[in-house]
Amino acid sequence: MNTERTEYDAVLADPAGVAPREPMRVLVAGGAGYIGSVVTRLLIAEGHHVTVLDDLSTGHADAVPSGVELVRADIADAGTILARGGFDGVLHFAAKSLVGESVSDPAKYWRTNVCGTRALLDAVAEFSVPRLVFSSTAAVYGEPDAIPITEDAPTRPTNPYGASKLSVDMMLAGECAATGLGAVSLRYFNVAGAAWGAGERHGTETHLIPLALDAAAGRRGPLTIFGEDWPTPDGTPIRDYIHVADLARAHVLALGAATAGRHLICNLGSGQGFSVRQVLDAVTNVTGLDVPQQVGPRRAGDPARLIASHERARAELGWAPQQGLADMVRDAWDFAANLANR
């Protein structure tokens, strides 16, 4: 505990950071996954009492910190844990999240992301859990009309993954109005980096930074850049990235900000974004290795820029990103090296 507390102070020295509050008893659904395991570590460092629920279909048991109870179960069975009583909140990360898979197997996404969450909300209501933080996605906006994307932008998801997340947001709005639940949905694009011994370990990796690191290290073939003729300064698409430690801080802040009867939606983003070329340059600068690469055609439906505004998160949560692209790449690189040496 003391080691985690010290590292938290060193990494997230932020006078407007997580406000001190009484310890809470929380359930982290999906807490053995990438983001959930980092958030669990921060909750522990903040003095909260955590139980993790995860079916381990994509998560890892060893990602759950020692001393934290891990219940291996489906999200639809969350009621068996909440029935113990005394829970002050739920943080909900348990979801399927591969865009391509959601197109080829949409039933899996409706079943897990929507039906599973409905069962969770039923248990939250039955056992009087007062607050919930939902890990949503900026994919609910689809192809935006304006950049940066604000929470008032039209929601037009272009795949079942984004549609399933939007469905949960809509359920939460109704639940808050009907039951007095206090809920916060956090919408963001790409998460990267590692923190407090936890990082990315996806069976199917689709994220640019770990793919680029693997290519640089020779763990996979050349990286494909999907078009270099985009209307951007260097011709490659621009995307939003958030360090996973910054994202964890937002979730803990949201837990404290959840207000009875209100569903708050906050976008989380850098406000500026980084191009594919900038990401590859950062990988080379951090690792000292070139990233083998090839240029392919544009992918249908890809927009030139995807950047989210975080102005509402700043106003409502006191949150703003503290770490940059180099931090994300360095921490992801160090985590991968430590993982290889286990």
Would you name the residues annotated as active-site residues?
161
At 231, the amino acid letter reads P
Give the C-alpha distances (Å, rounded to integers) separating 95 from 37, 193, 226: 14, 20, 27
Q: Beta-strand (E) ranges in the chain?
A: 25-29, 49-54, 69-72, 89-92, 131-135, 182-188, 190-192, 223-226, 238-239, 241-243, 263-268, 274-275, 293-296, 305-306
CA nearest to 17, candidates 323, 325, 322: 322
Task: Give residue 62's region: left, alpha or beta (phi > 0; psi -120 to 50).
Answer: alpha
> Rounded CA gap, 16 and 335, in Å?
27
> Rounded CA gap, 55 and 268, in Å?
27
φ and ψ at 243, to 5 degrees? -70, 140
> Rounded CA gap, 135 and 11, in Å?
22
CA nearest to 296, candidates 242, 221, 239, 241: 221
Angle ∠(119,125,126) on CA atoms, nearest 5: 85
Q: Are 50 and 44 in contact (CB under 8 A)?
A: yes
Q: Are 276 and 267 in contact (CB under 8 A)?
A: no
> Rounded CA gap, 306 and 187, in Å?
13
> Rounded CA gap, 51 and 60, in Å?
15
